[in-house]
Structure 1
């Protein structure tokens, strides 16, 4: 009799395409020119990375609020880490330097998400302050307020999604300009 060895494989959380689609939406949203042109996000590697972290936090926060979302949120975070590792190697960072850079990415992620979580409990102005510090280099508080309003709008949109739609990746982020205009 043959024994199935499925228990040695990683469990399938969601189709890889779903994780890639959600991560793709996050990356696409962070490339939206309005963030850089109208909302003051520095159009630099660091500015783009910090905006990516903000969007990743928004999605992970919502995914963790649904039962089946915890595993998907871990898979999404793992995909982010793989993407960062691949990008470093593509940019020519040596094999011995990659772990150090990845550790720095992890510290940045956990530090910023902790700041956003704490600020969210304190209100829009606190969130704007955290965004100002982490994304806008401590400058442009008005832009930070607009980004905080955008983040709150994105959180509200994500909160409206039913679990099936959320987990399938059948949704989109709000348009930054539309949130700012409110």
Structure 2
């Protein structure tokens, strides 16, 4: 799985999955302009929401757990959220200061969603403590992925520790090796695909991660 040549993830102009800003004219546009709907901050918030929608669309669907032989738990979902957030933030950084700024809005939306997920998981007491711990894990993982990206074995081992491992082992066992390798290839390919995706598609959220719906653990493609 995931051996095919990377390609742009941008959605076609006629794709039903595109997210477009509403185009208003006349009085309505004038009123929205007064309400700062077209301000840079409002635009970035809408874009960040669109990007995060792509992240959770990929992470919350059963396919990603089936393909990589993962149990759908809070820990696993959180780990996959962080992994896909890293992919997006990494790509946004490639666009310089503007991309970094948009990435901050994206992180704030992710953080709000994560707080809701933690509450839904039944953690209402000491919520702020939990969020601080998860924030540490988030930034720790981001640094680890950045450092490991240039080395195949390093990235594989980091993904194993952050996503798969329950016992603290530094390297995957022989039985767990295949899904870890597959997820590592998927992440490398998605990173390359995102780099090939144009700025407009990335910023506006008009891209989609590679579909996993038709891919199974034994599917010899992509």
- The TM-score by the shorter chain falls in which range? 0.7 to 0.9
Q: Give the structure, 1 or 2, with the largest relative contact order (CA under 8 Å, sep 6 or more).
A: 2
What RMSD, in angstroms, separates the aligned Cα atoms of the two structures? 2.3
TM-score (norm 1): 0.84
Match of residue 206 from structure 2: 170
Does residue 142 of structure 2 align to residue 142 of structure 1? no
2: distance between equivalents of 1:13 and 1:131?
A: 35
Structure 1 residues 38 and 91, CA gap change in structure 2 (3 angstroms): closer
> Contact 2:51–2:202 at 8 Å: present in 1 too?
no
Q: Rg bigger for which structure? A: 2
1: distance between equivalents of 2:72 and 2:95?
A: 34
Match of 1:61 among 73, 77, 90: 90
- In structure 2, stretches of 5+ residues that fail to align are 1-38
Does residue 153 of structure 2 align to residue 125 of structure 1? yes
Match of 2:110 among 80, 90, 93: 80
> Contact 1:36–1:43 at 8 Å: present in 2 too?
yes
Match of residue 5 from structure 1: none
- In structure 1, stretches of 5+ residues that fail to align are 1-9
Q: Which moved more, 1:132-141 or 1:51-60?
A: 132-141
2: distance between equivalents of 1:78 and 1:100?
A: 17
